[in-house]
A = this chain, B = another copy of it.
Amino acid sequence: MIDPYDDTYFMKRALQEAEAAYEKDEIPIGAVVAIDNKVIARAHNLTETLNDVTAHAEMQAITAAANYLGGKYLHKCTLYVTIEPCQMCAGALFWSQINRVVYGARDEQRGCIEMNTKLHPKTKLSGGVLSEECSTLLKRFFVEKRNLN
């Protein structure tokens, strides 16, 4: 039987959030947090809108998920994010003790793999889900920015 609630399903939700960021002229990155096949938090990058370097999609999603759960640890949760988390977001995920982190496309310059940021020993990291769609949206954003300047 096909599981309708697979990683692709949740990454599509994260991609919708990235598209919402794109519409606001924000670097288009989106994230959702899921538990038991249910999305409990969704967020997109708002660094420009809020004038705040800490307003990455993942940071907001972690805060929103903890708020939903009524506790700061995300032990049974999975975070889906369209682009591999940076040092800051991976550091926040470390503290959250989250069960899984799934990213879409790699960030080979500023991502936590290249930067060697440590996740919690309990956390499983995987990627490459809808990678093409996630990176295409990001590339389109930067190409358009360059053409405007």
Contacts and interface: CB of A to CB of B under 8 A. Distances in A.
A124 interface: no
Interface string A37-48: 000000000011
Contacts of A59: 54
A111 to B, nearest CB: 11
A86 interface: yes
A67 interface: yes
Interface residues of A, number: 29
A107 B90 CA distance: 18
Interface stretch (A2-10, A12-20, A112-120, A137-145): A112-120
A71 interface: yes
Contact of A117 (B47, B53, B73, B115): B115
